[in-house]
Amino acid sequence: MARVYNFSAGPAVLPEEVLKEAAAEMLDYEGCGMSVMEMSHRSKVFDKIIKKAEADLRDLMGIPDNYKVLFLQGGASLIFASIPMNLMKNKKAGYILTGQWAKKAYQEAKIYGEAVELASSADQTFSYIPDCSDLDIPEDLDYVYICENNTIYGTKYHTLPDTKGKILVADVSSCFLSEPVDVTKYGVLYAGVQKNVGPAGVQIVIIREDLLSDEVLPGTPTMMKFKTHADNDSLYNTPPCYGIYICGKVFKWLKAMGGLSEMKRRNEEKAKVLYDFLDSSALFKGTVRKEDRSLMNVPFVTGDAELDALFVAEAKKAGFENLKGHRTVGGMRASIYNAMPKEGVEALVAFMKKFEEEHK
Ligand SMILES: *Cc1c(COP(=O)(O)O)cnc(C)c1O
């Protein structure tokens, strides 16, 4: 068995310990004679799995009691619609456009009401986070929406926008559980788990209780009403059971690693190895304004598309997978999520140095 260093943006690398544990439990989960894939979501065994996953997540993030945790399906992209359907009471919301995922959420919101562009970094191909300290926020906005870590462009908000009292809604898909967060600053935060936490097919929505309501936009499907799932502890219908089980294992792993402060320390240390190299390299360059850099997704270029392609191909041969940049950006991108060991980043940098020597 040979595991590669997998720099995929998502679905992405998971902790080896978690995969091994899941493999060992595949045929017989804790003596019940079946796998977690095969058991009823109403069984006592599964009930314990989902409750423990939620408890560990609450513990990791310090989620206050007045927030609900929902395990949903449909992709983060479906939540782009659930947000306006559930929260657009005045049919007007503000969006900060910092990349493709923010733009898609903004466009989706326009189907349901007025989506106001509050700020954007489109003028410089989303290579920075706009100043959000004094935005012009209309009085009648239902919420302010951000994509907190921009997976494709490699930027992250290091300071949350001043929403002037409006509810903050954040897509945290690619920075979820990478560092501590103050949940009380958000009305809703949500993540597709396939970036940093688990297998594709699970979305985790953390929502303040007072925002759960039966008064949603007319035509909202039952399945897209957050209250449906909150009232039923995410068991209104069959949830993505196996995915939730893996997420639970990752939560347990994160706790054993020392929790989110320790993850932040590790992630900073890891990202620094790559960013320091990019800042000193004569061949490779980071594409993001320094103060807005993401700890999770690191895009870089050589400035020559052919050389970029050669680098990606040679890196692949050397066991570094999925380094090709997003199709809309080009160049390279190394996603270095929680489960990427520091040795993986060090090995990548050593390979980049060698490549630079050979191609300068
Ligand atoms: C990947 C990603 C999405 C889309 O996720 P799907 O589950 O494929 O719909 C949305 N937002 C962010 C920040 C992402 O990284």
Nearest to 334 by CA among 298, 301, 303: 298
Residue 72: the pLDDT is: 98
Q: Is the pTM of this model over 0.85?
A: yes
Residue 328: the pLDDT is: 79
Q: What is the largest CA-CA distance in the chain?
A: 63
Domain 17-256 has CATH 3.30.1330.10: no
Which tokens hold the place of 5? Answer: 């260093």
Residue 27 Cα to ligand 1 midpoint, Å, equals 31
Identical fold for domains 17-256 and 259-359, yes or no, is no
195 among known catalytic residues: yes
Give the start-to-end residue ranges of the domains of the chain: 17-256, 259-359
Residue 1: the pLDDT is: 66
Q: Which residue among the candidates 56, 92, 101, 292 is catalytic per the annotation? A: 101
Which tokens hold the place of 153? Answer: 């462009």
Residue 350 Cα to ligand 1 midpoint, Å, equals 31
Alpha-carbon distance of 171 to 174, in angstroms, equals 8
Where does residue 156 rank: exposed (0-12), middle (13-18), buried (19+ CB within 10 A)? Answer: buried
What is the mean pLDDT for each group of 10 consecutive residues in the chain (360 residues)?
91 97 97 97 98 98 98 97 97 98 98 98 97 97 98 98 98 98 98 97 98 96 98 98 98 98 98 98 96 98 96 96 90 98 98 95
Task: Report which residue type is found at 313.
Answer: A
CB neighbour list of residue 105: distance below 8 Å, 6 or more residues apart:
80, 83, 95, 145, 147, 171
List phi, psi (to 5°) of 84.
-60, -40
CB neighbour list of residue 117: distance below 8 Å, 6 or more residues apart:
94, 95, 96, 97, 106
Ligand 1 binding pocket mutation candidate from 83, 107, 195 (most atoms within 8 A of CB): 195
Contact by Cβ (8 Å): 81, 112:
yes
Residue 356: the pLDDT is: 97
Ligand 1, pocket residues at CB < 6 Å: 10, 75-77, 101, 147, 151, 171, 173-174, 192, 195
CB neighbour list of residue 153: distance below 8 Å, 6 or more residues apart:
98, 99, 125, 126, 127, 287, 288, 297, 299, 329
User: Which atom of ligand 1 is least distant from the CA of 151?
Assistant: 15
CATH number of the structural domain 259-359? 3.90.1150.10
Residue 175: the pLDDT is: 98
**Atom 5 (ligand 1) nearest CA:** 76
Ligand 1 binding pocket mutation candidate from 79, 96, 171, 322 (most atoms within 8 A of CB): 171
Beta bridge partners of 145: 95, 169
